[in-house]
Structure 1
């Protein structure tokens, strides 16, 4: 009897789930006659319904094994009625086209990205990511063309936004925060971006003034959504720089769906074209997957996983860099011994449970773990000659160094190891009541960092050892003998074991309403962040900050489609491990959170030109920062002072015009002006390392009218130089030299051998949706951009020479892509 009782209870518990399973799913995108997604369209059937989101996407559950009429309605369009009779668990894709209601056509205002506009979010089409490649392809390759976003190293995935540094940007994938390696010092070593573009469904980017639901960083938030497949698909791509393959599938009952992507990258083609010759093996690979299992209509479980292996081995042999002027040409010759070997292995896994308690209430639970093991080993001896270059045209020794002004050597050594484990558990929820939306979250994070830092550098010039600049010893070599101690030019040794516990929470409220005849949007929220730093030999430290934020947008009832927006708040950035460690490797647990007060004023004007849609987005911003943690920037490595002895500000204007300059394609032009300065220790304001005053970006797509299968893209970026042309150890108040302007143009041509708009008699062609071959030219104009300077000393003349470290020259690539 006891067993029968348990069985009866089990059946009773399962009855609701059995009832829920007798359904089918219809999903798709609602479009208008101009092929533009229709947002806020009502989709109803048998008394239940949903609305389309800002992308026109909808998903509706209907009864299975019965005739069901689905109705699509919208105030501005004629309704669409469609009959369905689907099997249990069946999922189909249906994309209806709604025609304008003729009676109301005079008052129609089309805005397909209304939700993003009011929130100050830029939306990027995933196809743009997949079609526009670069020396380092990915979402960052597109971000660098947006106003306010600056990238001055095409081999890097790091970017700065409106005067912030690389550590001030949030990145989320399906609401899960992701991280990047800690020890990377050069863009050549970075490898792949975490975001796999083949898996992406939606991309949203905010350059400032973002909502409280995003985390505690000072600059930007990048929100990525991976696909939830509705049918089988296969993509593959191969080029001279590597390849990728992705597959997506769903079971017949639509309960289990998933997508997986594999990538392999070898940058030898680019790195072998640099001035430093040698044997280089940069091999980067990763595997990612996103899986969803639907237990019922109310409960589903997601898994996001990533394994990444980055290996960088370099045995330099020699280098020659020509610099100077036409009248006084000079060259640096370097001969190397030794090698560099770096390994960055990361493992990431996250489970996300969604419970749809009702149409209004959604509850989520996220558990994630990130583990990285990093090794940075090198022993490199560099012996150099600095001299005058033979510039006599026709001479057999043209271009060679004839007279040496300085000789010397440099020995660098590193044995850096890092092991970091970051675990997170978070509850999130949202509740909708009429036009009100309430969102909240509670999150706990434990960070366990084990770090060993061993770096030293010895420099001599003509046999005389160079002491570090901060060693206050007067010497007059070679005229007077030096009898002081021999000290390494740089010597950093530290071993740290640090644990950081964080408790975070936020609550925010949003509302859409009307103010008279005008549409308005409100958003207000607050974040709280409490953290504690512990570790071996570290005095425990605990701190708490609160971050209120708000947004307001109004769309006046005007004939023209114009939207005004204001956003602001108090933003904090509690220190991560790297911000706690000073330049000598010592951990400072009392470092405060950097604070920034944001104010953003925005305007969007949508209009038609040549009977095609365009949008002009303009934003003015100001950031006042206190408790700033000063830092130096070497390539892509950031070294903090681990103190809060500075204040700073940043202000500027961003403009972006995007639309169909060519019918059927999206292009944009961007312009940005920025000024950011800091005051360290009340010594006065100087430019920050990211003070990149002017920025122009162009992403342009076109095709041949008579041959629409032949397409071309142009990715063009111009940035004025940033401070960074001075030695990293120098006092920034004594040196404010800037690097040269960054100018780069990448162009690509692609021809679609097979596309979805054609039919073929050949059976194998019918199985393929797309087959494309392309040719790409990176750095089309072969501009010599510099990322840093190498400083060479001449002990006799007591002069220092700045020799630029150039980035990649012109490189050709061939690409083949297919979609099944």
Structure 2
């Protein structure tokens, strides 16, 4: 027995002595989106080696007291080297983040990630987003070239997808939902997109049929991932429209990493090119950061923060718009008095904790807060003349209005203030059952506190007569008979609302990838639930409402010689009302507005092939949406005003086609086509076109370079959209006015020269610090097309009719840009 004890003691001593003769490095290796990387090869200069397991974990013993270089390598990630000199028996944790090796190669990488393909997700290269800026730089500038996505206002970042409106799109940054300002009514007032392109690592977009893990909206999901830096770097971009700078860093032990960006934008170059002349000060700025701290290999904490300040001051002076035909030209001259002052201040912060409980189980906790204070103040008196234009060539008064057919004035006033505070608390998790099956779930609570003052009116006078409100009950036969009724504003809205909304959301979904008779098969099934209740001053009859949303996807990749993928997605999608959807045209909150409901069916096909020994992909999707409990709305510029009732039904169907690939070696380009038809039936009066019924869409994003000068590059961004309904007065009955705006046609050209790039580095002189440096210019609306977003309606005293005068968007504009990366 004593001998046995002695053997055990000696064995223990031997193991301790053996352990003390070395040091240990352990940790977890992740990519930029915090996904563990399996199969990382780890090799020490002293000869030891190992590899990461399926959850990215590793452990490596190295000699103590000497400097040892440890090298981390992977076929698709950048090489990482780190030197260690540890003490006897010392244990440390080292968690490097490995960057995907994309920007090191000159040729384009077309994303063929199977997960994205089977889920119906379009992935956009962040390098492309940073390269192709446009008049409104950002992710949205690229989205408008995709099929099914429509943007007919280059001053706006808002977009509609497959017949939906601007409020029907979800936006996430690192799984954190983000929000837009409420009061914006015009693209002129919009500033920067929330997404800072200099911080982006990955962009995924789904135009419909998305999974249950995404929230309750009817149209689309934009899923942004900010990157975790692997070293120090600086990016800067400067142009005549403003600029931005982003810096990133990582600590020596790899535990802390952070990226921060500051942007400034002044749209004067664009707004001064519009027909309305005046003094304009559109100044927009924001500061944003994404920080990560790895307390251990199992626990990571992230922070996303954003502060945004938008100010728009405008003193209009005059405007002249020529329209009509060559035989009968007409002009509108307007002289203004007054000014507009708008301001939007937003603050957003979110913490996200990741706990890697095991190789298969990941638990997350997300808490966020969003606060916006917005004001919209204006008093503008517009006096107009509508008349015939002198068309006599050679006449000194050529182009001037010689005979007035109508005169009048319009006084608009607004004192709108909004204060919104939104907090979220969410638990998310995913469990990997095996290599082919995953379960994901979430429970989320949201509290919305809205304080809103709405006070605006419009007074119209035409040809000496005060125009009555369109729905005034007392008969009005002006201008034939004198009207003796009370003086009433043409439109008058006044409301004070204090509203609180509490929401509970949850989802669970199951995904599996398997093999079926030699064919790859993927399917996903999930369900969401959403309960909400509205309360506030003067609200006593509110009821708690609950909706349940089942969704499913199926994809098969046949074992054929041709690389084909087929997928189908279907589901019941709800959109519980946000505050703006609860407020009717008079400003009154209707607390019992139901969630709009839509049944989606999406059929898709992807065909990957090669032409000229270069990769291409053809993506085709057909879709149908059947909608009930629809909340009708009017759309003026980018302002949406709901009826706050569920008195309509609607449908949308269409076909989207996109082909992308290397049309020019080493560059990615694509061409897209979309057909859409969407109609609604309000109060059983019959089907009419919805405000977003944009029938045909063609988009192209083409990149090229000079063969003998590959550093001289160009891009061409083309968009053609047929006109949407909206060419009617805002007060008009939709069934009486179905006029459409003119077709939207736009081409933006950018040309740049790369002074420094990853393949052309310098070891001396002033270019040495730069990793990338380019200088170029851009031509917005290259062909000078006259696009319009709304119409101004003016009365003619002689014909007693009304003219629809288009409000044109920006003409041809030149911009200069300098981009650098250190």
Q: CA deviation digits over 1:219-260, x for unaligned, max 9?
A: 000000001001001011110000000000011111111000
1:537-585 deviations in whole A, cap 9, x for unaligned?
A: 0122210000000000000000010000000100000000000000100
Other-structure match for 2:782: 780
Is the Cα–Cα contact under 8 Å of residues 600 and 619 in structure 1 kept in the other structure? yes
Q: 1:43–1:60: 8 Å Cα contact kept in structure 2?
A: no
Change (3 A) 1:148 1:96: closer
Which residue number in structure 1 is paired with residue 306 of structure 2? 306
Matched with 1:4 is none
How many residue pairs match? The answer is: 771
**Partners of 1:531 and 1:252 in 2: CA distance:** 47
- Decide whether aligned partners of structure 1 residues 438 and 95 sit closer, same or farther in structure 2, where only a CA change above 3 A counts: closer
Offset of residue 473 of structure 1 = 3.3
User: Could you tell me the TM-score, scaled by structure 2's length?
Assistant: 0.91
Distance 1:111 1:563, change over 3 A: farther
Displacement of 1:756: 1.9
Q: Which residue matches 2:810?
A: 808
Q: For residues 90-129 of structure 1, what are the structure 2 equivalents within 5 Å? A: 91=96, 93=98, 112-129=112-129
Aligned to 2:211: 211
Q: Deviations over 1:625-655 (max 9, x none)?
A: 0000000000000000000000000000000
Mapped contact 2:50–2:59 kept (Cα < 8 A): no
- For the residue of structure 2 that corresponds to 1:537, the secondary structure is coil
Written as runs of structure 1 = structure 2, the 5 A alignment for 1:521-670 is: 521-539=522-540, 540-670=542-672
- 1:64 to partner: Cα distance: 6.6
Shift of 1:757: 1.1
- Which residues in structure 2 correspond to 1:471-486 (within 5 Å)? 471-486=472-487
State the SS of the aligned residue for 1:760.
coil
1 CA distance for matches of 2:81 and 2:451?
Answer: 61
Distance 1:813 1:699 in 2: 19
CA distance in structure 1 between the aligned counterparts of 2:416 and 2:712, rounded to whole angstroms: 49
Q: Cα gap change, 1:544/1:381 in structure 2, threshold over 3 Å: closer, same or farther?
A: same
Q: Could you say if the C-alpha distance between residues 44 and 767 of structure 1 is closer, same or farther in structure 2, counting changes exceeding 3 Å?
A: closer
CA distance, structure 2, for counterparts of residue 83 and residue 517 of structure 1:
41
Distance 2:444 2:31 in 1: 33
SS at match of 2:766: helix
Give the structure 1 partner of residue 377 of structure 2.
377
1:765-776 mapped onto 2 (5 Å cutoff): 765-776=767-778
Aligned to 2:52: 49
Moved more, 381-390 or 110-119: 110-119
Q: Which runs of 5+ in 1 are unaligned?
A: 1-18, 30-38, 52-57, 98-109
| Kept after mapping to 2: 8 A contact 1:688/1:723 | yes
For the residues of structure 1 that align with 2:29 and 2:798, how far apart are their CA atoms? 79
Structure 1 residues 319, 661: CA separation in 2 closer, same or farther (over 3 Å shift)? same
Which residue number corresponds to residue 63 of structure 1?
60
Shift of 1:91: 3.4
2:768 aligns to what SS in structure 1?
A: helix
How far apart are the structure 2 equivalents of 1:550 and 1:561?
24
SS in 2 for 1:764: coil
- Aligned mates of 2:51, 2:508 — CA distance in 1: 29
CA distance in 2, matches of 1:21, 1:173: 36
Q: Distance in 2 between matches of 1:417 and 1:605?
A: 51
Rounded Cα–Cα distance in structure 1 between residues aligned with 2:624 and 2:444: 30
Gap runs ≥5 in structure 2: 1-21, 43-48, 86-91, 103-109
Match of 1:271 in 2: 271
| CA distance in 1 between partners of 2:693 and 2:210 (Å) | 22
1:11 aligns with: none
Alignment of 1:678-697 (within 5 A): 678-697=680-699
Contact 1:218 1:572 (C-alpha < 8 Å) held by counterparts: yes
Q: Is 1:453 matched up with 2:454?
A: yes
Q: Of 21, 26, 32, which aligns to 1:23?
A: 26
- Given that 1:305 and 1:350 are in contact with CA atoms closer than 8 Å, whether structure 2 keeps it comes out as yes
Q: Is the 8 A contact 1:26 1:62 kept in 2?
A: no
Q: Could you say if the C-alpha distance between residues 709 and 509 of structure 1 is closer, same or farther in structure 2, counting changes exceeding 3 Å?
A: same
Give the drift of 1:92.
Answer: 7.2
Contact 1:24 1:63 in 2 (8 A): no
**How far apart, CA to CA, are the structure 1 residues paired with 2:513 and 2:628?**
34
Summarize the Cα distance change of 1:600–1:696 in structure 2 as closer, same or farther, 3 Å threshold: same
Hey, what's the Cα distance between the residues in 2 that align with 1:69 and 1:784?
58
2-structure distance, mates of 1:616, 1:815: 33
Q: Which deviations, in whole Å up to 9, do the C-alpha atoms of 1:61-87 show, x marking residues without a partner? A: 45374687978699xxxx999998756
Q: Secondary structure at the match of 1:483?
A: coil
Are 1:209 and 1:568, in contact at CA under 8 Å, matched by a contact in 2? yes
Alignment partner, residue 142 of structure 2: 142
How far off is 1:50 after superposition?
4.8
Asked whether the 8 Å contact 1:26–1:94 carries over to 2, the reply is no
Tell me which moved more, 752-761 or 742-751: 752-761
Secondary structure of 1:765 counterpart: coil
CA contact (8 A) 1:123 1:203 kept: yes
Quick one: distance in 1 between partners of 2:389 and 2:99? 69
- Is contact 2:334-2:382 (8 Å) kept? yes
Question: What is the RMSD computed on CA atoms of the aligned residues?
Answer: 2.3
> In structure 2, do the counterparts of structure 1 residues 44 and 337 end up closer, same or farther at CA, with 3 Å as the change threshold?
same
Aligned equivalents of 1:678 and 1:204: distance in 2?
30
Return closer, same or farther for 1:94/1:637 CA change in 2, 3 Å cut-off.
Answer: closer
Q: In 2 relative to 1, CA 336–85 (structure 1 residues): closer, same or farther, beyond 3 Å?
A: closer
1:794 matched residue in structure 2 = 796
Q: Label 1:161 to 1:86 Cα distance change in 2 as closer, same or farther (>3 A).
A: farther
The corresponding residue for 1:9 is none
Secondary structure of the corresponding residue to residue 198 of structure 2: helix
Distance 1:59 1:186, change over 3 A: farther
The answer to whether the 8 Å contact 2:24/2:62 transfers is: no
**Distance in 2, Cα, partners of 1:21 & 1:195:** 41
Contact kept? 1:64, 1:85, Cα under 8 Å = no
SS in 2 for 1:638: strand
Contact residue 20 and residue 296 of structure 1 kept, 8 A: no
Write out aligned runs for 1:370-519 (5 A): 370-434=370-434, 435-519=436-520
Conservation of the 8 A alpha-carbon contact between 1:575 and 1:591: yes
| TM superposition shift of 1:20 | 13
Alignment correspondent of 1:105: none
**2:6 equivalent in structure 1:** none
Per mean C-alpha deviation after superposition, the further-off stretch among 718-727 and 792-801 is 792-801
Aligned with 1:691: secondary structure?
Answer: coil
SS in 1 for 2:760: coil
Report the secondary structure of 2:228's partner residue: coil
Q: 1:745 aligns with which of 747, 757, 780?
A: 747
The CA distance in 1 between the partners of 2:534 and 2:138, in whole Å, is: 35
Q: What secondary structure sits across from 1:259 in the alignment?
A: strand
Partner of 2:9: none
1:335 counterpart residue number:
335
1:798 Cα shift? Answer: 1.5
Map of 2:13 onto structure 1: none
User: Hey, what's the Cα distance between the residues in 1 that align with 2:599 and 2:196?
Assistant: 33
Counterpart contact for 1:554–1:564, Cα < 8 Å: yes
- What is residue 764 of structure 2 aligned with on the other side? 762
CA contact (8 A) 1:534 1:541 kept: no
